[in-house]
Amino acid sequence: MEDYGFFQSWAAVFCAIVGTIIWRIAGVVLASRIPADGPVMGWVNTMAYAMVSAVLLLILVHPTGVLATTGLDHRLIGLGAGLLAMFISKHLIFSLLCGISAFALAIQLV
C-alpha cells in the first residue's frame, strides 16, 4: 500500500485516461482499414456484442457497490421479467419498466 502525493495522484488519472484513449484511437485507425460488410467486420461486431453482454452479466451476477446489497435472485428476477416482456412486446421502455418493477418488488417481497 502506498500513499499517493499530489503529482502521483494526477499521474494515476493520466494513466487511466491514456489506458482508455489508446483503444479509441486504435479503433478509429483500424475502422478505416477494415472493409465494411466483410467477414472481419462481422467478427469484430459479434465480439463487441459478446463483450458488452459479458460486462453487463458480470455487473448483474457479481456486482460491486450498491447493487451488491441486493440478492442474486432479486437481480435475476428483474432481468428475467425484462427479457420476457421484451420477447412478448418488443417494446423497449415497457420492457425496461417491467424489469425494474419486478426487481423493486422482488427486493421488497422475496
Segment 22-41, which members bind other proteins (CB under 8 A)? 22-32, 34, 36-37, 39, 41
Cell of 15: 494513466
Binding residues for other proteins restricted to 57-76, rule: CB under 8 A: 57-62, 64-67, 69-70, 75
88 binds other proteins (CB under 8 A): no
Q: Which is nearer to other proteins, 4 or 73 (CB)?
A: 4
**98 CB neighbour count, 10 Å cutoff:** 21
110 binds other proteins (CB under 8 A): no
What percent helix, strand, coil does the chain show, rounded to 5? 80, 0, 20
Per CB under 8 A, the list member of 5, 43, 88, 110 interacting with other proteins is 43
61 close to 72: Cβ distance less than 8 angstroms: yes
Q: Residue 43 corresponds to which amino acid?
A: W
